[in-house]
């Protein structure tokens, strides 16, 4: 495998319109950047590609990383393709689907109670000592790898009418990468940081509520966004401010409701972190910060198949026979108000 051929069709994701939501919310256009279409179902594939190219060109023995699930799946897949063994420290409470989807690739998974800045610094030392590439998806730890995500911004920048880019934000790396790409593509879109209410160190700092982007603990349930001390926090604030953007805080409940609405109204099923960004946009439309003439983009970072917790039924499954089906069909159609 030569580094240059280490590609599985990641990137160049489409911008798709959300026409029903736009109409409901009084907007002319709302765009979604369909990052859930990447090979392992999230934008992290872009970073995994450049990271493994870096590992090969530096002659590393393998890779060592942390993950809440998406980065782990991406690194495991691209690591397998590069022929590099991997070790992944993964949050013990990561969604079962994220963990299961990493297993096929054969990387060693180490379940961790916490994956904060102390753990990341300790892993950096182990990686250096063992000649492994550290694959944490943040500029603070893996700046070469993060360059892969900058194309998100460059691709959005080709749409000159885009006014705002809404990003679900945890460690801040995705936001920084997108902002760099937007600037490279000469876009003047505002960069908007959307964080869960219960873990919003970057948004709170931008709002002037706290001095610096570090909080004591996170209680949000939104996977991927649980970083109390975001490694790229300061850099993210710089990018938000430079673009004239702002920070938004959204409740977990609003993110889950938006996940359902997006699936039902537009047929797009994303994971809660992505839905949170859309909920952030909705909040800003409601408050008049974004108006009908704007053309916002929401980056839909990961597939809904990554976290099915809310969609599993616990009740015993009831089965029917064919004689009962006609009535069930008719009841269903009338409950939805579908005319004959
Ligand atoms: C689906 C999803 N969206 C957004 C993010 C946030 O990215 P960052 O931590 O770079 O801010 C993550 C991070 O893991 C994620 O998995």
Do 168 and 30 share a structural domain? yes
Q: Tell me the pTM.
A: 0.96
Helix (H, G, I), strand (E, B) or coil at 143: helix
Distance 326 CA to ligand 1 centre (A): 45
Do 220 and 179 share a structural domain? yes
Classify residue 250: in a domain, yes or no.
yes
Q: For ligand 1, say whether the CB of 170 is within 6 Å of any of its atoms.
A: yes
Do 156 and 220 share a structural domain? yes
Do 304 and 205 share a structural domain? yes
| CATH code of residue 75 | 3.40.50.1100
User: In the numeric block, which tokens belong to residue 88?
Assistant: 């992944």
- The parent domain of residue 262 ranges over 3-41+148-310
Do 156 and 62 share a structural domain? no
Classify residue 256: in a domain, yes or no.
yes
Q: For ligand 1, say whether the CB of 171 is within 6 Å of any of its atoms.
A: yes
Do 48 and 25 share a structural domain? no
Do 206 and 120 share a structural domain? no
Q: For ligand 1, say whether the CB of 224 is within 6 Å of any of its atoms.
A: yes
Distance 340 CA to ligand 1 centre (A): 45
Do 159 and 11 share a structural domain? yes
Quote the number of domains for the chain: 2
Q: For ligand 1, say whether the CB of 213 is within 6 Å of any of its atoms.
A: no
Q: For ligand 1, say whether the CB of 35 is within 6 Å of any of its atoms.
A: no
Single out the residue in 93, 127, 144 at which a domain terminates: 144
Classify residue 64: in a domain, yes or no.
yes
- Residue with CA closest to ligand 1 atom 13: 224
Distance 298 CA to ligand 1 centre (A): 13
| pLDDT of 276 | 98
DSSP-derived secondary structure letter, 270:
B
Single out the residue in 144, 178, 201 at which a domain terminates: 144
User: Which parts of the chain are beta strand (E)?
Assistant: 15-17, 31-34, 62-67, 86-91, 108-112, 132-134, 164-168, 190-196, 247-250, 296-300
Do 306 and 233 share a structural domain? yes
Sign of CA dihedral 13, 152, 105, 268: negative
Classify residue 326: in a domain, yes or no.
no
Do 154 and 280 share a structural domain? yes
Do 213 and 90 share a structural domain? no
User: In the numeric block, which tokens belong to residue 48?
Assistant: 């995994």
Classify residue 72: in a domain, yes or no.
yes
Distance 224 CA to ligand 1 centre (A): 5
Low-confidence ranges of the chain (pLDDT < 50): none
Q: For ligand 1, say whether the CB of 271 is within 6 Å of any of its atoms.
A: yes
Classify residue 336: in a domain, yes or no.
no
Q: For ligand 1, say whether the CB of 42 is within 6 Å of any of its atoms.
A: yes
Do 290 and 206 share a structural domain? yes
| pLDDT of 226 | 94
Single out the residue in 112, 144, 176 at which a domain terminates: 144
Classify residue 54: in a domain, yes or no.
yes
Q: For ligand 1, say whether the CB of 185 is within 6 Å of any of its atoms.
A: no
Kindly report the backbone phi and psi dihedral angles of residue 37, in degrees, each rounded to the nearest multiple of 5, phi listed first: -85, 0
How many Å apart are CA 49 and CA 326, to the nearest integer?
51
């Amino acid at each position: 495998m030569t580094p240059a051929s280490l590609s599985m069709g990641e990137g160049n994701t489409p911008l798709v319109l959300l026409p029903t939501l736009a109409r409901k919310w009084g907007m002319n256009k709302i765009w979604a950047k369909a990052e859930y279409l990447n090979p392992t179902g999230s934008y992290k594939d872009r970073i995994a590609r450049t990271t493994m190219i870096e590992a090969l060109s530096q002659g590393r023995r393998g890779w060592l990383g942390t993950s809440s699930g998406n980065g782990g799946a991406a690194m495991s897949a691209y690591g397998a393709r590069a022929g590099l063994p991997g070790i992944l420290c993964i949050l013990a409470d990561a969604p079962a689907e994220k963990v299961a989807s990493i297993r096929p690739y054969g990387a060693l998974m180490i379940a961790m109670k916490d994956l904060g800045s102390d753990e990341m610094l300790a892993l950096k030392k182990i990686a250096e000592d063992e000649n492994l590439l550290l694959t944490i998806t943040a500029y603070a730890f893996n700046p070469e790898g993060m360059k892969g995500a900058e194309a998100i911004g460059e691709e959005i920048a080709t749409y000159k009418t885009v006014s705002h880019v809404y990003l679900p934000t945890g460690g801040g790396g995705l936001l920084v990468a997108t902002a760099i790409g937007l600037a490279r593509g000469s876009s003047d879109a505002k960069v908007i940081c959307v964080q869960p209410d219960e873990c919003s160190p970057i948004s709170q700092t931008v709002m002037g509520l706290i001095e610096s982007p570090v909080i004591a603990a996170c209680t949000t349930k939104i996977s991927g966004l649980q970083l109390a001390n975001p490694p790229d926090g300061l850099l993210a604030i710089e990018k938000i401010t430079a673009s004239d953007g702002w920070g938004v805080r959204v409740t977990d409940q609003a993110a889950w409701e938006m996940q359902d609405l997006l699936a039902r109204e537009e047929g797009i099923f994303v994971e809660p972190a992505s839905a949170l960004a859309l909920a952030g946009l909705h909040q800003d439309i409601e408050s008049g910060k974004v108006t009908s003439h704007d053309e916002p983009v929401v980056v839909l970072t990961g597939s809904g198949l990554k976290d099915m917790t809310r969609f599993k039924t616990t009740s015993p499954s009831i089965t029917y026979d064919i004689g009962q089906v006609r009535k069930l069909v008719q009841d269903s159609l009338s409950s939805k108000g579908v005319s004959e």
